[in-house]
Amino acid sequence: MRKAGVALAALLVLTACGGETGESAQERPESAATSTEPAQPPPTSQAAADAGLRDALAEVSGTGPAAAYFEYGEPAWWREMGVTGASGEGRRWLPASLSGLGDLARAAKALPEATGIDPAAGERAVTIGLPPRQAFRFDGDFDAAAVRGKLTALGAQPRRFGGHDGLSFSPGAEVDLSRRLVPGVTSQLNQVVATGTTIAAAPMPQSLEAVLGKGPSLADSPDHAAVAECLGDVAAAMIIPRRPPEP
């Protein structure tokens, strides 16, 4: 069952995990998670539900961009809750429902028609890193051929990313102002890998490989694993490193 919290008129609730893990408090991630409880929770075991965040941590590289910033969301769960951008009570949860999309959230409505990528139609959404070393990963059931077709028509060229076949608009994080994909999208889709179950995008190849799970995973980090265990079953979460105190 989702962690439940009620504050005033069901406003966004932030739940932080306490306790010290890792080598020092400064290196321990601090986290914020948004959550709500459905009136009739789906019939799933607690262990399976709690695995969502932990599974997402296990899918991305534990070094590089993800260690600096990790954002997680479950679009499928929010869809079941009826949270959409149209109207009604669900609108109050829109900020939480867009978790995992990072700065692609503001372009989410225009992306499907222009690129074939529909982050909100997936099961899980993850953003790692900070610009320009960021990357996006959407897991679910996708029409990879449609995505590849639209991106190729826009000028993307075939490129190999580690063990993955993908498409590239530029060698790195260059911003081409003459290429108009979607308002609000600059270099985020420079590198793309699209399969029937996963769509990954990033400005730079290294970040794309990281979000596809190159090397030891973020779940192998004791600090991140401890945060995931503390948060448990959540539909939205952010994990960031604690910054050193100001001098």
**Model pLDDT for residues 3-52, shown as the tens digit of each residue:** 432 222 222 222 345 444 333 222 334 444 433 443 343 433 334 444 79
Q: 5: exposed, middle or buried (C-beta count within 10 Å: 0-12, 13-18, 19+)?
A: middle
Q: What is the pTM of this model?
A: 0.81
**CA gap 188, 130 in Å, rounded:** 11
pLDDT, greater one: 29 or 93: 93
Cis peptide, bond prior to residue 38, ω within 30 of zero? no
Do residues 233 and 50 lie in contact, with contact meaning Cβ atoms separated by under 8 Å?
yes
Q: 204: exposed, middle or buried (C-beta count within 10 Å: 0-12, 13-18, 19+)?
A: buried
User: What is the pLDDT, as a whole number, of residue 93?
Assistant: 83
Determine the average pLDDT of the residues in 183-207. 96
Token couple for 28: 């321990």
pLDDT, greater one: 246 or 39: 246
What single letter denotes the amino acid at residue 174?
A: E
Lowest mean pLDDT segment, chosen from 39-48, 56-65, 98-107: 39-48
**CA gap 152, 158 in Å, rounded:** 8
User: What is the pLDDT, as a whole number, of residue 178?
Assistant: 79
Do residues 66 and 44 lie in contact, with contact meaning Cβ atoms separated by under 8 Å?
no
Give 87's contacts (C-beta < 8 A, 6+ positions apart). none
